[in-house]
Structure 1
Amino acid sequence: MHYLSKDVFFPPVSESDEEGILAIGGDLSSERLKLAYNSGVFPWFNEGEPILWWAPDPRMVLFLDELVVSKSMRNILNRNQFKVTFNQDFAAVMSNCQKIKRDGQNGTWISNQMIDAYCKLHEEGIAKSVEVWQDDVLVGGLYGIDLGHVFCGESMFSKVSNASKTAFISLVNHLKKDNYKLLDCQVYNPHLESLGCREIDRVEFMSILKSK
């Protein structure tokens, strides 16, 4: 594991350990975060602990044409049960992702420090959000980092059934229109798998990431 200094630098992702941890330390400056995502690296750590930088192998991704939308979900989308917007309330989406209770988790890795850092990236047009509204109330959404050809999903939340799925599907449809190559979902979970995401080798992921 590499220990980062003030220099904005990341070692090759091939040097990460078996868990996928590449480096420790550094900061959440916009310059470092932009380098991280363009290098296939992302931060993930608990509040009060040193920053951990990850480059897991395998990598969970969605090839956009492999999106799975169930018949019941199609019906919900066709009924226009929700209103979907993009980049209308980034800070609120991150705040909700931070506060939402998740099964099997006692806390959150989204600290106030993370929110400040990603809001700065949003001001630069790099971090983006999808908002899902019901009766003018924010009930779901997601946020991530937009690299122009790959979107790196970070977190999503849902206060009512199917709101986060609506955000996810809306994002994928948006990315497809703009010919994005991939939606990066970082690490495996069964919910993402149900939407069509799958694990690929890190070498393949890096090849796609670098093919701008």
Structure 2
Amino acid sequence: METKAQAIEIAKNHLQLRGYNGFSFQDIADELGIRKASLHYYFASKEDLGLALIADYTQSFQHWSEMHEDREPVEKIKKFIDMYNSFSQDGLKVCPGGVLCIDYNTLPPKLKKTVCQLQEQIQDWLTKVVAEGIKSKALKATLKPKETATLIHATTQGALQIARMQNNPKAMKATSLALISLIEK
């Protein structure tokens, strides 16, 4: 794996375990076994590294959503929960969007903008899935797609954080699946 790709993978791990403000360029360089100045060859600043992380997460989510395009709405929501659950199962990590929301007020302006775009991409996908579920009668007709999408997204992100605090990776999935029983017809 090339140095730039390795740096992104290391930064992803740090981000999901420690937050954006919880790691430095030096941390990444040390794990790569290179000088910090060498890391600047690939990323002019930590903000540029953060932008590369968001671009990677955005592309990954796009690919993931396309893989599940042909599933039924409730199954898509369950797969979404499974995706978030995989973070919890991987050392009690939290989702990248959630951790960046926590650090939001301290992020550089460009990074704030891309974090919002990532969150909007996920929110739009969930809103579309909920609308499909209502139309197909798999979800309750009284649901409002956008608000229900926000509820699903907030529940999965919050459940990850609670699972981390309780040191209980199983709590995330159980909490999120309980939500499905409330919205399913």
Higher helix share: 2
- Greater C-alpha radius of gyration: 2
TM-score by structure 1 length? 0.26
Higher strand share: 1
TM-score by structure 2 length? 0.29
